Structure 1
Amino acid sequence: MGEVKKVIFIALGFPNPEKRRFLYSNLMLEFSKMGHDVFVIAADDEGKQSKIYHESGLKILRVPSLKLFGTGNLIKGFSNLLLPYLYKRALRRHKIPLDFDVIIMPTPPITLIDVAFWLKKKSKGKLYLILRDIFPQNAVDLKMMKPNGFIHSFFRKKEIKLYKACDSIGCMSPANVEYVKKHNPYLDPSKLHLLPNWADPQEIVEVDVEATRQKYGLQNKFIAIFGGNMGLPQKLENIIELAKNCQEIKNLVFFLVGKGTEQKRIAKMVSDLNLNNVIMKDLLPKKEYNDIVLLSDIGLISLSEDFTIPNYPSKVLSYYQFKKPVLASVDLNTDFGRMQEEIGCGLWSEAGDTASLKKNLLKLYNDKKLRDRLGQNGYDYMVNNLTPAHAFDIVYEHI
């Protein structure tokens, strides 16, 4: 192990790792486990005053903010623009020494760029970008922003400035690396490298399967589960269209868990179509969600066909973890489907092609051995390539 690094992680949200682990807490815990001094700064849209907490060995400065989640785009956008000012003020107020060796920032949101620059200038540390959102182009793809308009130009300038300032940029997939290279020819390509999403392949605990099935009305059901954000990027209409075309399979149920800007509209669509093979639930406690994934038969992935950027859905990691085969409806600009083929963990169709998606669903529905093999392949790939330890090694190598 090399020298001890003083690391600051600039987060949007950062749940208490003692209660819930997620992508970035797993990485920061790995840094801490390897002996590095980790400091996290994160927004707290329910807090009244900034405060430093000590959670699972991490120092976390939680900063009160305006509403960031579950609100309209205007308030959410203003809240994100305000964050850099709030973060700087909190760091000054708590007299945090700005002598960090490494500044790690993920996207989204790109608005935290200003505090990242400020910390880099003050501390002379290296800036490492975890690129998980190619913004503003994704907003253009989803028609949330006009191309080359004032707002797009404003954020595109910030994006260019960010890429130039970073010492290293970790991208989700090979297609992400190539996309950034192609659309940012000014950028030194040696900054870019592959940093796949990661998760902790926790031991699967015993579940009272029958009690869980009874609780959610899943007795004798073949379950295809979707868990996560229900927004424009996911375009869950494609899953609902599949459900509409599968009503003759009486024991098949589509179990959709999550919240997002499109949740109410999707729920209305299910109601209007009178689909009794779709169950929708708000966000569930992690343990309850894991219980349902464990007894599910298929994990669902959906991405909008409107994307020109190559997205890579992190929710697939929970399917890998619980050895579930993946059924994906994705656009042709992502390499997610092709990578599923290479790993041998699932089947995919072009988003919008319901006939192909149903054909793949039936393959999985009718062949338990195939489901078991694909699920095991996904789990093995995760254990060998996608743990927090693997992510730490990649990041540390580049800082």
Structure 2
Amino acid sequence: MSLRKNIVLLTTKYADEKKDAWLTNELAYSMSEEGNDVTVVVFSWLKNEPESVTKVIDGIKVIRIKLPSIFYSSGVIGTGLKIFVFPFLARYKIAQEIKCCDLLIANTPCVTILGMSRFFRKRYNSKCFLVLWDFFPFYLKDLGAIRNKLFFGFFRYLEELMYTSFDRIGCMTEGNARFLFENFPSVSKEKVQLLPLWAKIKKIEPVDKSKVRKRYNLPPEGFVAIYGGAMSIVQELENILELAAMYSKDEVTFVFIGKGTEKDRLQKAVATRGLQNIIFIDYIPREEYEHVVQSCDVGLISLSRKLTVPSFPSKSLDYFKVSLPILASLDSVTDFGDILENGVRGGYAVVAGDAAALKAKLDMLIENSALCAELGRNGRHYYEKNLSVENARSIIISLL
């Protein structure tokens, strides 16, 4: 790109340190490395997230906005207040800090950025690109968090307003795009394109697996399956507990890394059931996390059987990156399983709740190290070819 552009990335998730870099960080770095002026506006959506501050991090101006604590009460009322107050406060802060913007890049959930695309278009005459990762009201409805039809209809209406306000929408998969068209018919198909998840592609240096395993009390020689990421009702991790219960400690060790609303309950369930082959590890820095993943034998993905929205789990990138085969327990509507098995050829997927089928696939991996290696190589190849941040950047920047 020959001309320097002013780009604003609007998100609710952005790491303050490079060692914890997430997708939004990688995109901001890539845009900046191409010679653009990049500003990141981060909404501290949760109560325990950082306070309002403006600072330069890794050469990128980051404006973090947090509301007074009174707006972080739980439940629908608290969420509703944040939905309407955040954008008003953000407009004021953005007007102070940002003088011009050629391109706004925002990611879902849309209700967190209500009206921001129209604000940027009116104030800066900027183009607006939406990265569509989830459909907020449908997830909550699927999981029982929204039972009132009026509330659901209201949030769905807000989502549709936001979709129609963007110049371009990037969907993770074909299934994701079909869901958008079927449930939001006012969205023009011409403005939608595929935008796969992304990562900074880099060579992975080998690690001393025995040392890493020893550091985290993992068996030095045994088969280890790892789940890394959020532990919430979205994942329905009971499916992994059911799988673990079918093996002894000497056969397979299951490792859970991360935090979430379901973690305490899962730990209690493990203790109650007397499962000796499950290890929980709290948050660790991303680079160290990658070393742990690299020292395991299979990467686990789990999604609730109740979900009706196709998705592409971001944790798959961590597994593809280090050539780890994937075993996934998925809802019946997502197209990720087909992509994994037939597009990537990097692992296996079964419908959530079928513990016997899940065990059969894991047995195949345990018994065939050559198969594991082949699936891992395929995943890495797909990652390098299709999931680079440069690919995502070129798709998004083409809007200008």
TM-score strictly above 0.5: yes
The match for 1:140 is 141
In 1, the alpha carbon distance for the partners of 2:325 and 2:365 equals 8
* Greater alpha carbon shift after TM alignment, 198-207 vs 20-29: 198-207
Determine helix, strand or coil for the equivalent of 2:4: coil
**Letter matched to residue 215 of structure 2:** K
Q: Residues 161 and 109 (structure 1 numbering): CA distance in 2 closer, same or farther, change over 3 Å?
A: closer
Deviation per CA, 1:307-363, whole angstroms, max 9, x where unpaired?
111121000000000000000000121000000112110011111100000000000
Matched, 1:86 2:66: no
The match for 2:374 is 373
Alignment of 1:1-399 (within 5 A): 1-44=1-44, 47-51=50-54, 53-65=55-67, 72-73=74-75, 78-79=81-82, 81-92=84-95, 94-97=96-99, 99-108=100-109, 110-146=111-147, 148-149=149-150, 151-219=151-219, 220-247=221-248, 250-341=250-341, 342-399=343-400
Offset of 1:147 from its aligned partner? 5.3
Determine helix, strand or coil for the equivalent of 1:54: strand
Q: Cα RMSD between the aligned structures?
A: 2.1
TM-score w.r.t. length of structure 1: 0.93
**Letter matched to residue 82 of structure 1:** V
Offset of 1:31 from its aligned partner? 1.1
Offset of 1:205 from its aligned partner? 3.6
In 2, the alpha carbon distance for the partners of 1:370 and 1:275 equals 28
**Letter matched to residue 57 of structure 1:** G
| Counterpart contact for 2:19–2:287, Cα < 8 Å | no
Q: Residues 250 and 176 (structure 1 numbering): CA distance in 2 closer, same or farther, change over 3 Å?
A: same
Offset of 1:17 from its aligned partner? 4.7
In 2, the alpha carbon distance for the partners of 1:66 and 1:13 equals 19
Q: Residues 145 and 101 (structure 1 numbering): CA distance in 2 closer, same or farther, change over 3 Å?
A: same
| Counterpart contact for 1:85–1:115, Cα < 8 Å | no
In 2, the alpha carbon distance for the partners of 1:77 and 1:202 equals 41
In 2, the alpha carbon distance for the partners of 1:292 and 1:331 equals 27
In 1, the alpha carbon distance for the partners of 2:217 and 2:182 equals 49
**Letter matched to residue 356 of structure 2:** A
In 2, the alpha carbon distance for the partners of 1:73 and 1:228 equals 24
Segments of 5+ residues of structure 1 without an aligned counterpart are: none
| Counterpart contact for 2:110–2:162, Cα < 8 Å | no
Determine helix, strand or coil for the equivalent of 2:136: coil
In 1, the alpha carbon distance for the partners of 2:399 and 2:43 equals 27
Segments of 5+ residues of structure 2 without an aligned counterpart are: none
In 2, the alpha carbon distance for the partners of 1:109 and 1:282 equals 30
Determine helix, strand or coil for the equivalent of 1:234: coil
Count of residue pairs brought into register by the alignment:
393
Deviation per CA, 1:365-397, whole angstroms, max 9, x where unpaired?
100000000000000111111010011111122
* Greater alpha carbon shift after TM alignment, 262-271 vs 290-299: 262-271
| Counterpart contact for 1:344–1:378, Cα < 8 Å | yes
Q: Residues 19 and 287 (structure 1 numbering): CA distance in 2 closer, same or farther, change over 3 Å?
A: closer
TM-score w.r.t. length of structure 2: 0.92
In 1, the alpha carbon distance for the partners of 2:360 and 2:131 equals 36
Deviation per CA, 1:211-244, whole angstroms, max 9, x where unpaired?
3222222122211000001111111011111111
Q: Residues 33 and 376 (structure 1 numbering): CA distance in 2 closer, same or farther, change over 3 Å?
A: same
**Letter matched to residue 148 of structure 1:** K
In 2, the alpha carbon distance for the partners of 1:25 and 1:17 equals 9
Offset of 1:306 from its aligned partner? 0.5
Offset of 1:207 from its aligned partner? 3.1
Q: Residues 378 and 206 (structure 1 numbering): CA distance in 2 closer, same or farther, change over 3 Å?
A: closer
In 1, the alpha carbon distance for the partners of 2:73 and 2:289 equals 24
Offset of 1:43 from its aligned partner? 3.1
Determine helix, strand or coil for the equivalent of 1:233: coil
Q: Residues 73 and 231 (structure 1 numbering): CA distance in 2 closer, same or farther, change over 3 Å?
A: farther
| Counterpart contact for 1:50–1:90, Cα < 8 Å | no
Determine helix, strand or coil for the equivalent of 1:232: coil
| Counterpart contact for 2:298–2:324, Cα < 8 Å | yes
| Counterpart contact for 2:256–2:279, Cα < 8 Å | yes
